[in-house]
Copies of this chain bind each other. A is one copy, B any other.
Amino acid sequence: MELDDFQHLMQTTYGARDATRGIPATVAWLAEEVGELARAVRKQTPAEQLHELGDTLAWLSSLANQLGLSLGDAAARYARGCPRCGHSPCSCP
């Protein structure tokens, strides 16, 4: 799936709720999801880890939507390799 298509899907599915909730609460939910992902990584199954990866990605998309920013544009920072050293594989010290 395209990053921006996923973000648009999140806008269609949750955009009205996101606007009502607001940005600070969305940041809080994202943090909560990252906590659930951390727990899944430590002691749950691959299926549960996949579930939490999806939820984290969904909240990241909701936040990007509310900020008016594109995850595709955000990903472009890495399109030419490591943004710090410019190489792929990264050759940062």
Contact = CB atoms under 8 A, between A and B. Distances in A.
Contacts of A50: 69-70, 73-74, 77
Contacts of A63: 37, 41, 53
27 contacts: A1-B75, A3-B3, A6-B75, A13-B81, A13-B87, A14-B90, A15-B89, A16-B89, A17-B89, A17-B90, A23-B41, A27-B37, A31-B38, A37-B63, A41-B63, A41-B67, A46-B69, A51-B74, A53-B63, A53-B67, A53-B69, A53-B71, A54-B74, A54-B78, A57-B60, A57-B71, A58-B78
Contact of A78 (B6, B42, B67, B87): B6
Interface of A: 1-3, 6, 9-10, 12-17, 23-24, 27, 30-31, 34, 37-38, 41-42, 46, 49-51, 53-58, 60, 63-64, 67-79, 81-82, 87-90
